[in-house]
Amino acid sequence: MEAADLLPNEKVQVVDCDNGNRLETYVIPGEAGTGVIGLNGAAARLVYPGDTVIIISYADYEDAEAREHDPTVVFVDEDNRVARLGAEIAGALA
């Protein structure tokens, strides 16, 4: 949460790369440093343990702000630990 600058109760979109499901939910803080991403309630039926997910947050900006905004992209390792911060790389995955 900290690396992605996500706030408690912030609305996010979750995209499951394994099954194509997309859902909107909100951030609930868990124990820091565990790498756990948990989904509760109905959302838990759409994403399964071990699935690769993308978590997206959005913001509203005035035109000038939007042109200057650089999104935060957090890349994690196989244990959901922050591997690096950087820009999204366009293109298909191999």
Render pLDDT for 19-68 as a digit per residue (tens, 0 to 9): 999 999 999 999 888 888 899 999 999 999 999 999 999 999 999 999 99
Residue 63 lies in a domain: yes
Residue 31 lies in a domain: yes
Which residues neighbour 89 within 8 Å (Cβ) at sequence distance 6 or greater? none
- Segments forming the whole domain that contains residue 19: 11-86
Residue 51 lies in a domain: yes
Residue 1 lies in a domain: no
Tally of domains within the chain = 1
Which CATH number do you get for residue 36?
Answer: 2.40.40.20
| Residue 94 confidence (pLDDT) above 80 | no
pTM: 0.85
Residue 74 lies in a domain: yes
Residue 71 lies in a domain: yes
Which residues neighbour 30 within 8 Å (Cβ) at sequence distance 6 or greater? 36, 38
54 three-state secondary structure: strand
Our measurement of the distance from residue 7's CA atom to the centroid of its chain's CA atoms, rounded to an integer in Å, reads 12
Q: How many other CB atoms sit within 10 Å of the CB of residue 14? A: 19
